Structures are given as C-alpha cells and as structure tokens.
A and B are shown apart, each in its own frame.
Chain A
Amino acid sequence: MSQHEITLTVNGRRHAARVAARLTLVDFLRDELRLTGTHAGCEHGVCGACSVLLDGRPVRSCLIFAVQAEGAAITTVEGLAPEPGALGVLQDSFCEAHGLQCGFCTPGMLIAAEALLRRTLSPSEEEIREAIGGNLCRCTGYKQIVEAIRIAAERLGGANLAPGTDHG
C-alpha cells in the first residue's frame, strides 16, 4: 500500500516518480515512462522477455519492484539503438540472420546478448547459448539467434572497440 518517491536513470535520462510498492520495474518502464520496448511476458521470471540491464547487469524487470531500483541505472532495449529510428550492430545482425519472427522475445534476447558482448567479443557458441539460456523464444528454435549474436560479435570485434564501449 505504501507509496515511495524514487529517482533512477533510464537510458541515460534521470527520472523521478512516485510509485506504489507493488509496481514492478517492467510495469514502471512500460506504463509510467512509456518505454514499451521491454516486453512483459510471463510476469513471474520464466520467459526473460522483460530483461533489462540494471547497473550494467542483465536482470528480469518483472522480478524487481520499481521502488527497489532507487538510484539504479537502467538500460532498456530502446537504449541499445544509437539514435531514434536507427539500429545498432547487434540489432542489425538479428534482422540479417532472421533472429526474430514474432518479435516478442527480441528485446530480452537483445539485452542478454548485449550483456554478453560487453564482456567478450569472441564468445564461443556455448557461451552464447548460456547467455540467452534464460530467454524463451517460441519461433526461431534459437539457431538464428545464436547466429545473429555470433555475427554481431564478429563485426564488433572487427571494429576494434575497447571492451565496455557502448557499441549501440
């Protein structure tokens, strides 16, 4: 029942809001900030569609109450694009390799892949599969998603960016 004042940063922008304790982070992002790229799927931590980066680490935003994100820096799928209307290398690779069909799991897959590629630009197939192991896709059979991430890693590796660089 309690209401709480929170301030947090989402995709580099600071927000202050008043939230009910029971409001999940995914609902806050979608309904309050209107950032509807993050998808609410199962809402109990199984499907991974709601994955976001919290202080750089991938987490499920349906399993965090917004009030708990006080002071945190969140990156949603909208934050992966270099600018509105454009696609980053990783997103582009998903298009090219047919790493999506219906698109419902895609934001979560992109966040999981982004977290992996911030850590390494030469992931093994095993590492890629481990990184997206918490994300369900009912269309692709995962093969094209793994391929998309491999292609993105190759391209980003070729670009010779410093590790941790925002490669949007």
Chain B
Amino acid sequence: MKAAEFDYARAASADEACRLLAGAGGEGRIIAGGQTLVPLMAMRLVRPALLVDINAVADLRGIEAGENHLNVQAATPQADALANLLLRRRLPLLTKALGFVGHVQTRNRGTIGGSLAHADPAAEICLAAATLEAELIARSAQGERIIAARDFFIGAMATALAEEECLVAVRFPVWPTAPRFGTGFQETSIRRSDFALAAAAAQLALDERGVCRRAALGLGGAATTPLVLEEAAGRLVGTTLAEDDVAAALALAEKDLAPIADLHASAEYRRRAAGAMLARALAEARAEALG
C-alpha cells in the first residue's frame, strides 16, 4: 500500500501548474488535498510519473461573490468552504452537502476542486454542482474553457477534463431572491461520513402565494454520474407542492435511476434508498420554504 515512484513539483501559480502538466506528456497529475488521489496511488490504481502540487498557489483558494453566482477556487479546502458564511447564506445547499463530505480529517485537507475532478459517483460536491448546474473552469497552457456540470461528469471517476488541464474554479449559480426558498440534502451510508449509498439534493423557490416557481432535484449514488432530475423538478413547477404533486415528481424521478451494485449494496437497495432520500430531501426543502 505504498505509492509507486514519481517525481514531484510544487507549482507557484496555476499557469506554472499547467506548464508542468503540459511537459509531462499525459503522465502528470495535479495534487491538491490528495484525499482521493493518494489512496488511488497507494492501491496502484493510478501511477502518475509527475505530481504537480497546487497547495502553495494562494489564488487557487477562496470564495468570491459574483452577481448571480459564487466562485469557489478549486483548491479551497472543504473545511474552509463548510465554515464560509457567504456560502452558507447564498448557497445553503452546498453547505448542507459539505456536512456529509468525508470526515473532519479529510475535509481539512480535501478540496472542492479535487472532489469534482475525481468525480466519485457517491461524491456530495459533485451532486451539488450537478444539481445547481455549476460551471467548471479548466485551464491549460492553451488557455481557459468553461465546462457545464452536465458535460463535465462522464462516468464513474471520469470527467471531461483533458490530461493537461487543471480545474481552477467552480461557478455555482445563486438563484435570484424568492419570497420563499428552501433546500434539502439527505444521504444514507453505512456509518455517518462513509461513502453515500444514495444521496439526494433539492432546491425550491416559491412565490408569495406558495406556488413553486423553480425547482432543482439531483441524486448521487444512483448511477455512475450525479443525476439531474429535470423532468421530476419540472413537474413541481407551477404547483403548490401538494402531496399528489410531490408523489408524481418522485414517480417521474424513479425512471431515471440506473444504480450500480457493489460490495456495499445491491442495485435494488440503492434504487429504493435513492427514492427514499429524494423524498426526504424534497420534504426538507419544502418545509424550509414554507417554514
């Protein structure tokens, strides 16, 4: 359980990290927190020739407010994001999701961008990014490009990032202020903080009469990538979120599930757990909005 040999370089800037990656001929990997990458290296599932460390790059950390979004720099530690008051106020769904990410020790080291770049199917940050339709900003020696979350996650542990690209930031849309607003994040795992067997995210905006004007629903652990449930969310818009409406939305969501089986849970268990988590997340968001 020791990593194979590799070369190591500490980047002083994001541009330098990109140059180092470009020079590694596809054998280089960015290391930020290392909480996903180092276990993969220890198990020899990943064997980079060069690790490019971006921990010393100060401008890859931090959270800033834009007009209709929050910009989270990729190497921002998850613990810092979890404690960030701006994030809590403007992106409560992400704050809730972060509470389920790993443990104290891994959140202190693990980063927002690192979780996204590895794209574990059970990862809460990936689920929040997909549900909120975040945009991911990738930089290479050739320049920057913006990738929509829906195009970013392409499979289990697989993303649209090219070998020579470094994820530098994530832009999370912040919804315009609504008279009533609520979020829900629910997850089930073997022990608290273990990998999610199923996780669900919900965000709702209602008008002053209690009619749902905008809804976003997502599921993690229910397929190889985070699922964004557009049809189910669409079913809620224009309703008062009565019991029948919620039930109809949940029924629509069920069609999209494609859970995988592994050592921890069968596909059938995951299917039922995903449905139950979605019902709870939706109930949580609804209760908060109507609060």
Q: Which residues of A contact B (CB under 8 A)?
A: 1-2, 4, 20-22, 24, 27, 42-46, 48, 51, 54, 57-60, 62-65, 67-68, 70, 112, 115, 129-131, 133-135
9 further A-B pairs in the complex, CB-CB below 8 A; given A22-B3, A22-B5: A1-B6, A21-B7, A22-B6, A43-B42, A58-B105, A63-B34, A63-B106, A65-B8, A134-B106
Main DSSP-derived SS at the A contact region? mixed
- Report the bound CA distance from A4 to B51 in whole Å: 13
CA of A135 to CA of B193, assembled, Å: 11
CB-contact partner of B34 in A4, A64, A112, A131, under 8 A: A64
Question: What are 8 of the A-B contact pairs (CB < 8 Å)?
Answer: A45-B106, A46-B39, A63-B34, A63-B35, A63-B39, A63-B109, A131-B104, A133-B103
Does any Cβ of A come within 8 Å of B15's Cβ? no
Among B44-95, those with CB < 8 Å from A are 51, 53, 55, 79
* A73 → chain B closest CB, angstroms: 14
Query: How far apart sit A154 and B38, CA to CA, in the bound complex (Å)?
Result: 38
Report chain B residues within 8 Å CB of A48. Answer: 103, 105
B residues with a Cβ closer than 8 A to A are 1-8, 10, 31, 34-35, 38-39, 42-43, 51, 53, 55, 79, 102-106, 108-109, 191-193
Find the residue from B79, B102, B104, B193 having the highest chain A CB count within 10 A. B104
Residues from chain B with Cβ under 8 Å of A54 in the complex: 108-109
- Chain A: which residue is nearest B40 at the CB level? A44
Report Cα–Cα, A48/B55, bound state, in Å. Answer: 22
Rounded to whole angstroms, the CA-CA distance of A59 and B107 in the bound complex is 8
Closest CB in chain B relative to A114 CB, distance in Å: 12
Please give the distance in Å from B2's CB to the nearest CB on chain A: 7
* Complex Cα–Cα for A46 and B5 (A): 22
CB distance from B139 to the nearest CB of A (A): 22
Contacts of A115 in B (CB 8 A): 104
- With A43-B1, A63-B38, A65-B8 as given contacts, are A133 and B53 in contact (CB-CB < 8 Å)? no
Contact B53 A68, beta carbon cutoff 8 Å:
yes
Q: Of B6, B31, B39, B102, which is within 8 A of A44 by CB?
A: B39
- Cβ of B126 to closest chain A Cβ, rounded Å: 18
Report B24 CB to chain A, min CB distance, Å: 13
Give complex CA distance A62, B43 in Å: 12
Q: Shortest CB–CB separation between residue B120 and chain A, in angstroms?
A: 13
Q: What is the chain A residue whose CB lies nearest that of B43?
A: A44
Which B residues are in CB contact (< 8 Å) with A1? 5-7
Contact of B105 among A22, A44, A134 (CB under 8 A): A134
- Compute how far the CA of A42 lies from the CA of B106 in the bound complex, rounded to whole angstroms: 15
In the complex, A32→B4 CA distance in Å? 19
Given A68-B55, A133-B191, do A59 and B105 touch, yes or no (CB 8 Å)?
A: yes
In the complex the two chains form, is A43's CB within 8 Å of B2's CB? yes
Residues of A within 8 A of B8 (CB): 2, 4, 21, 65, 67
* Cβ of A11 to closest chain B Cβ, rounded Å: 19
Q: A133: shortest Cβ distance to chain B, in Å?
A: 5
CA–CA, A58 to B104, complex, Å? 7
Q: Contacts of A133 on B, CB cut-off 8 Å?
A: 103-104, 191-193
In this complex, the member of A46, A51, A58 whose beta carbon has the largest number of chain B beta carbons within 10 angstroms is A58
In the complex, A29→B31 CA distance in Å? 21
Q: Which residues of B contact A62 (CB under 8 A)?
A: 38, 42
- Alpha-carbon separation in the docked complex, A24 to B31 (Å): 14
Which A-chain residue is minimally distant from B192 (CB atoms)?
Answer: A133
CB distance from A99 to the nearest CB of B (A): 18
Assembled-state Cα–Cα distance A134/B109 (Å): 13
Instruction: Specify which chain A residues have a CB less than 8 angstroms from the CB of B7 in the assembled complex.
Output: 1-2, 21
Looking across the interface, which residue of chain A has its beta carbon closest to that of B41? A22
For B53, list chain A residues within 8 Å (CB).
68
A44 touches B42 (CB 8 A): yes
How far does the Cβ of B12 sit from chain A's closest Cβ, in whole Å? Answer: 13
Contact with B35, one of A45, A65, A135 (Cβ below 8 angstroms): A45
A92 to B48, CA, bound (A): 44
